[in-house]
Structure 1
Amino acid sequence: MRGARGRLDAMNDIAAPARIGLLGTGPWAAATHAPALAAHPGVDFVGVWGRRPEAAAVIAREHGVAVYEDADALFAQCDAVAFALPPDVQAPLAVRAAAAGCHLLLDKPVATDVATARELAAAAERARVASVVFFTLRFAPETAAWVAQQAARDGWFTGRAQWYAALFAPDAGENPYAASPWRGEKGALWDVGPHALAVLSGVLGEVTGLTAAAGSGDTAHLILRHASGASSTADLSFTAPPAAAGVEVSLLGAEGATVMPEWDGPLGAFAAAIDALLDAARTGVAHPCDVRFGARVTELLADAEAQLGRA
């Protein structure tokens, strides 16, 4: 088994694609992770591990890769691994992957427990592996460009992120993600809250203070204070009426107002996240959305959950 140094040398070999494995077999893995890995010109998609071998076999068959019954055996064959697992299943496996020298392409949130998130960040640091957390809107080309443009401007006064979905509303239609046990337990705060925090902090700076208030259903309202001195709000719900569902991020400042553009699905975003991980692995320069930022997001969401009385 190669150590982290050997894997980094392999990834610096321009002629050799990065060997990346996938952990996870749910709808997110099948629709986004697997096809993006299979299509990426800089990736050798090695194989799939999942808690449901029959689901892993379906993905493996579709993309012509191997099924691994043992996650550590997959780590031994990879330069990097991508995760599409519930957060508290992801975290301990990612610690093992880092110890095996694999660079980490993680899903958000990295964990729902602060101690576990911090241990994962420490494990990546100890192993000196690169990490990227897939906050979708920080990688989708349209929204990533917007965040970068706004971050380069001064004078922002406030921002607002509004993530309303009807995933668990009584009159919502069928949705494969509604069957996810961890989403049912943790709700919008933990599923789309990371997206709101990633976009707002990407423009306004680190969140230095947070106040949370509960609405109906799983609705959560967050008031955020940022290192820049700006404030922002995030309104999150999976129990909104279907007619009220929608996503919008807006900013107000000295030069007026701006609204985040729409984006074209997750496949291009995940391809950009793969690029970001490969770049971080080859250069040694940490990406802004690395596991340390992921751990900070977990800290903020855990604080909000405690304030809401849902911990």
Structure 2
Amino acid sequence: MRLLLAPMEGLLDDAMRDVLTRAAGGEAYDHAVAEFARVTSTLLPHRFYTRISPELLHRGRTAAGTPVRIQLLGSDPECMAENAAHLTRLTPPGIDLNFGCPAPTVNRHRGGAILLDEPELLHRIALAVRPAVPATIPFTAKMRLGVNDHGRAVECAQALAGGGVEELVVHARSKLDAYRPPAYWEEIAKVAAAVDIPVVANGEVWNVSDWQRCRAESGQRDVMLGRGAVADPLLAQRIRRVAAGGQAGAPEDDWPELLPAIAHFWERVGAKLEARHVPGRLKQWLKLLERNYPQAARLALEVRPLRNTLEIEPVLRRHGVPLIAEAA
């Protein structure tokens, strides 16, 4: 059984990957995937990759030891291959192709899930990139079930597998579905039955019960967690505990364990972003944490009207978040 941490543009960046892989424990996630690198007609410099995945400067791993694969998004087979070859010089823990992003701005420029209407193009991209990636570096892809429906999901999966992709993550929704529930986990079973490479289930796994149903309906042992992991940073830990025969535990009881994680996130985001953007990142996370932690809802209520870090830090301290300045 494997648990993977999803790429999520604008949410699951290096700061959040660091926090989540620390909180869940160093071995909770088998690997993570960084946000996509958009490939157009130019060769992306190495500094671009190290910016989206600073882990590349540390053997491609988070501080907790979780490997982080790099994801490429684009529609030109030759450009994708050239960029993949250049990227391999940084020896990433893996290279992944993005055919799952449903964002209109990305899709308008022929990137992400919109390409799922062109299985032959998926095949040409995979076929071009495959020789550029050494056998020592895993070569994978992530896709959705289709653009407007699920009719070509099997065809797309076969195109990628036939092009040399070694493993496929399938998000159980179409581009049109975006992130609206439900996820059609049963469709993943049809994809997996049609290819001879490992398939990982993804989509709408918010808790241990979802994970159990996802595995049962998709027929897959391995699951990728996205927003559910952000909403409960201990979700991977809970899943592994249940898989070993233990109890998941109630999230609200674990709130004290999250307080250092919130402090660490605040520090990481403060070092990475301009001060005016830091409060927004915290509010974004608290909004998701509210799904599982009533304590986060109370904290969010106080933080929501505040606009700068000097106003927010006393509130964090009052709620028990051990900020570095206080610890010093």
Give me the TM-score of the superposition, normalised by structure 1. Answer: 0.31
Structure with greater proportional helix content: 2
Structure with greater proportional strand content: 1
Larger relative contact order (CA 8 Å, sep ≥ 6): 1
Give me the TM-score of the superposition, normalised by structure 2. Answer: 0.30
